Structure 1
Amino acid sequence: MTDGIFDLVRGDGPLVVSMPHCGTALSPGLAERLTDEALTLRDTDWHMPRLYGFAAGMGATLLSARHSRYVVDLNRPSSGESLYPGQATTGLCPDTLFDGTPLYREGQAPDAAEIAQRVEGYWRPYHEALAAELARVKARHGFALLYDAHSIRSHVPRLFEGRLPDLNLGSARRTSADPGLIAGVVAAMDGAAAAEGLTCVADGRFVGGHITRHYGRPAENIHALQMELTQDRYMDEEAPPFAYRPDRAERLQRVLAAVLEAFAGWRP
């Protein structure tokens, strides 16, 4: 199912997998305003639907964005408030790439009116769909599980020092899900990552963005976690065409399967 803004594959289980940064479409006229570097769409969460395609077989609902985060960032609050005060980050309608270089040609950045239009045209439909799917699975099961799927280059000096761990689980510092659920997922991640020779951390540099923080309401039986992956573990991260690498992805998928099994298998 799709409405042009997102793709939706409904499952019958309690798990909803959100992929807000995997889109590559640009809004009309935007390409002409972007720098050559921005047109590579370097900061995309590449190949998320393919990497997590196995989750459909677990009964998960899969929601993936079609448009680039350069149009509007679906994992930021619509107010534009910073999620990481005092740290380098990008905004609701970013004007720089992750490395700080300009996104737009001179004088082409959006004004407040255009940002508001993008929120209404792209941000709101995605969040309305996400909220509706969480309500649907909660009505069926009595609770809902939200997994927000992301990826990023392994080295982005402006955002973090050194190399990021391969798997970065965020729970808004243990507030977006039941403590026992978080502990079980962290244990599954630690064990599976160690077996595959991968590194992992919980609530490190990335503790969860707007989606995790906003929708994760354990007291209302909606439990949310975010996963940020290093892209070099499943693709070529350095230069276009940013190709998917099945030879690398296989062992990462085994860890992700263990994580999702622990998450989806939990019951209140």
Structure 2
Amino acid sequence: MSHRPDWLSIDRGEAALLLSIPHSGTDLRGLEDRFVSPWLARRDADWWINELYSFAKDLNATIVRTAVSRSVIDVNRDPSGRSLYPGMATTELCPTTTFDGEPLYRDAAAIAADEIDARRLAYFDPYHAALRDETARLRDLHRRVVVYDCHSIRSHIPRLFDGALPQFNIGTNDGRSCDPILTEAIAAACADPAFTHVVNGRFKGGYITRSLGQPDRGVHAVQMELACRGYLNEPHAPVTPDNWPTPLDPHYAMPLRTVLQNVLERCIAFTFQPAS
């Protein structure tokens, strides 16, 4: 990219591993007054993901992040507007509701199509261009590359899923976005008795995983959705501005963070394995 926007961060490494962090941003891009409240517009962010995966730099991984809030535009949605989970509750490319179904905007009218197009051009397209460019750069260096899409979500959101979400939710678009050997390696790392995990459960991978994963071309993509209780003292009561987001406690987060380090090390090890 000839000019990098101020909201886009790219930390380049040389290992065959690219981390995408699309939902940790809280920048509302001047739309604060249009939202019901800035806190509500930021509530569904993937809190502390940057800090949780900070060790990835030591693995020489490449990290691509956006500071723009998912409430402004969700760079993990299909830009055509097609639902990635037909028949299930979800949010749009430019969300008008929270995960819990509450209106995000003071004006209940839908966001105009031309504004959606402008946001896509300003934020979505550059983020995906960066992902494609960095993936291509690493693919030139390595026979295989793993694109690892980092996410988290509150453990209980009845509108989206029943009960408590497993701490580790591995999504590979039902096996289409990566080699099954990689899926098995990640699942084995997550099979820690202190946690629960699932493969292609409620979260099968969003647009990033589905669009970039091309195993036959040496690009293997996987989404990791973490239930927040795995690394945060998540409130049992409904979240409010007084109790959310919970501060990151490094001691509390360490067991899950140790598993994540094992996961990423296995991703890198996979890239050295002979073709199956």
Q: What TM-score results when the alignment is normalised by the length of structure 1? A: 0.94
Matched, 1:229 2:233: no
Matched, 1:265 2:269: yes
Secondary structure (helix, strand or coil) at the match of 1:223 reads strand
- What is the aligned partner in structure 2 of residue 3 from structure 1? 5
CA drift of 1:37 comes to: 6.8
Q: Decide whether the 8 Å contact of 1:33 with 1:108 is kept in 2.
A: no
Aligned partners of 1:19, 1:139: CA distance in 2, in Å? Answer: 22
Aligned partners of 1:245, 1:90: CA distance in 2, in Å? Answer: 30
- What is the aligned partner in structure 2 of residue 248 from structure 1? 252
Q: How much is the aligned-residue C-alpha RMSD, in angstroms?
A: 1.6
Matched, 1:213 2:210: yes
Matched, 1:160 2:161: yes
Aligned partners of 2:214, 2:130: CA distance in 1, in Å? Answer: 18
Structure 2 residues not aligned, in runs of 5+: none
Change over 3 Å in CA distance of 1:256–1:133 after alignment to 2: same
- In structure 1, give the amino acid aligned to 2:265: E
Aligned partners of 1:2, 1:52: CA distance in 2, in Å? Answer: 23
- In structure 2, give the amino acid aligned to 1:232: R
- In structure 2, give the amino acid aligned to 1:260: L
Aligned partners of 2:225, 2:67: CA distance in 1, in Å? Answer: 19
Structure 1 residues not aligned, in runs of 5+: none
Q: Decide whether the 8 Å contact of 1:178 with 1:218 is kept in 2.
A: yes
- What is the aligned partner in structure 1 of residue 23 from structure 2? 21
Aligned partners of 2:189, 2:227: CA distance in 1, in Å? Answer: 18
Matched, 1:60 2:61: yes
Secondary structure (helix, strand or coil) at the match of 1:265 reads helix
- What is the aligned partner in structure 1 of residue 198 from structure 2? 201
Which stretches of structure 1, 4 residues or more, deviate above 3 A after TM superposition? Answer: 37-40
- In structure 2, give the amino acid aligned to 1:21: H
Q: Decide whether the 8 Å contact of 2:155 with 2:228 is kept in 1.
A: yes
Q: Decide whether the 8 Å contact of 1:38 with 1:97 is kept in 2.
A: no
Q: Percent identity?
A: 44
CA drift of 1:42 comes to: 0.7
How many equivalent pairs are there?
Answer: 263
